[in-house]
Structure 1
């Protein structure tokens, strides 16, 4: 039914269906292992069992259908029993409840194992082994990574694949260890100590794949917790699945949900580093271009200053002044020459007007004594027998004095 004014609202049924579908399409929630203590256990005539699984901090409604109980030959459940269950999470629409639908049960006793675990956790926590202040940051780009796990474990192959794909620059050192069963806690602690003594690893992954609570129990043992605590290099734990928690997770410098997630967290993605490097390169290029442009402007300013104070500028100025002076001198000289030429022409005209040649041209002659070239203007200057040089208008006449006539 759609109500007026509520076109964008969901009905309770629609929201319940959505939640159910969302939960049932989440792969992680469809394959979970959870441990805790049984409470409020009721088995109905139908054979279906309903109970609450709880620990000190939370509780979960559980349904164990008859078919699943018969298929796995599960033991009868009782309040106070410690168990680990495997199943899936879904939403019960009618009651609006989130429920764990159990597929199998592994008994852990009547909560004694968990009671011992809580006591150990409380004691170690009181010593400060789980304090956040103890947590160390993982190296950003480790060159050597240590791994503590079983050499035969699929988790090792997964971690190696992730490390190789994400950050092939890192070198991996495997410190093999038993990760479940008798002797596993001491083996894990010894493998951690070996990596610390070796001294090359910059970070250590302690990991194994998922399993039952018993299979993961080695990572709850005190010897493992103390080995992680005394490690001189940071330790990241990757034990089990997302929902699995061990004391190793609390003491480690960082906890990852799975071994694969631990490998992902411990190294950067080389593709991201390449992109970062390209960004830095572009940034550096831009900075260099800006600096070069700034230096170019400074150089241009300095060049202008040098040109302003350069002697070449003064020389060019002097050259121009010299050219101006030269032009002025040439103009003045031409003017003087013109004036002197005019004056000379005037003198020449005067000389021409006084020239004896004009006199000669009118029928007179100029007489020189041939011996000393003295001009003869009087008969007193010659004697009979003197040779004379007579210049007339159209030539010269050589004559000898044979007679001298004097005016009375």
Structure 2
């Protein structure tokens, strides 16, 4: 009896995986559907579910394939996915391994354009508050473009025709291809480090969206925004719009239009100078006339015809003021003297010496205490009597106290 063969789970999963990968249809196919459960892992891999009305399919996109996408997938986006179906052996789940995907109904580049435009607008890179005024009369214009294209020839021709005095510095730059964005960022940095240009014209002639794609690069947009020198974006034709157009300080429909916007015709400048000259002559003439009239008016005043008269009047006023001050000072001194005499008299009247001059005596006990009552001294105490012109030392032989107007004697 032949025993049945027993397989492991891993063997079965590996067998099914080989079946799926070797299938003619499943090994290379296009699938359309709506993205849901989208997740961008920190490793760079993308995971999402592709669904329609009848079912759902798990999808994975490895980092090397995801890095080549010009846009970021989003939930709800209708896409066509190119890839192959295989089995993830650890979970036994089959899934579609996407190698490339493209939005349905709209081009991949257009989706990337709209996503970057929305992102930079939210950061404020398009705000008018950050846009600088383009100089009207620059002395030097820096042109960042291909040195062999028609755009640079048109710019040079127009600048020379409008104002031959303006210098044009060409910074040869790639404006198409994979390395173009890096080259544009480098040229913008060089112009700013050079620092002699008043304005920058960045652009090229027309082309397809793919040809102009370097002007939709995020690094280029941020370099234009960071430029310390005003930038005019002149990319393609009038109907072409790029991210650079929104970030730049001014957009020109064509490179030729940019050259016109960056310069003022020399004849127009000469006319402006002539008008300014006439205006200055008129203003100076009016100012001189006004000054002459004012001078004549000043000359006609009495102070100019008889200058000493005003000086004499001032001297008289000074003398009169001096006399008034002297009189006022004398009166105040007299008032102060009278007040001083009054206070002196009051002080002398209140002085003990004045009382003593009338025969009164001030008695002081040996302790130094002033005696104001007979009761403060006793018979035998030594007392000093102060008179107007001296003092007397004496002992109390007897004392007598008066009470209620009657006399009592105590030995």
Q: TM-score range by the shorter chain?
A: 0.3 to 0.5
Normalized against structure 1, the TM-score is what? 0.46
Normalized against structure 2, the TM-score is what? 0.46
Structure showing greater radius of gyration is: 1
